[in-house]
Amino acid sequence: MERSSLNTLLVYRKSLALRDLSEAVASYFAHNREMLSFRQIDSFRDDITKSLVTDALLITKEVEQAALSNSHSVRMKSLSFVNVMTRNILAYCNGLERDGVKEKEYLNLLRREIKTFRITFKKWRKSISNRND
């Protein structure tokens, strides 16, 4: 697959939507409004929101890497990494909730986005893991 055709992949578009929503949620809940610039972290909540943004970015990069790679081992490593990052994002939602976030509807929106991404990802993973090198 060529880089220019990435936008035709549903899973890639879903990863971009997940990234954008994660950045919006993280920005909303962060105490330090400049946390997206990766400056010093001031609180536990800022730590969670920074990790949320980082993992969402990594999901998109790993989907891209898996889609573009001709190596079976590289694809499998990227696919496994995406699974870990999606579980992390769900854990960050729980962490924000335990930290006292009152606007749980935003966290539930992010959880639903993860769920829809995972459904799309699992279908795509089956098709890509069977692809020959």
Range 24-45 average pLDDT: 72
pTM: 0.87
The answer to whether residue 108 scores a pLDDT higher than 90 is yes
* 13: containing domain: 1-130
Is residue 35 scored above 50 in pLDDT? no
The domain total for the chain is 1
CATH number at residue 118: 1.20.1440
DSSP notation for the chain: --GGGGGG-HHHHHHHHHHHHHHHHHHHH-SSTTGGGT----SHHHHHHHHHHHHHHHHHHHHHHHHH---HHHHHHHHHHHHHHHHHHHHHHHHHHHTT-S-HHHHHHHHHHHHHHHHHHHHHHHHHHTS--
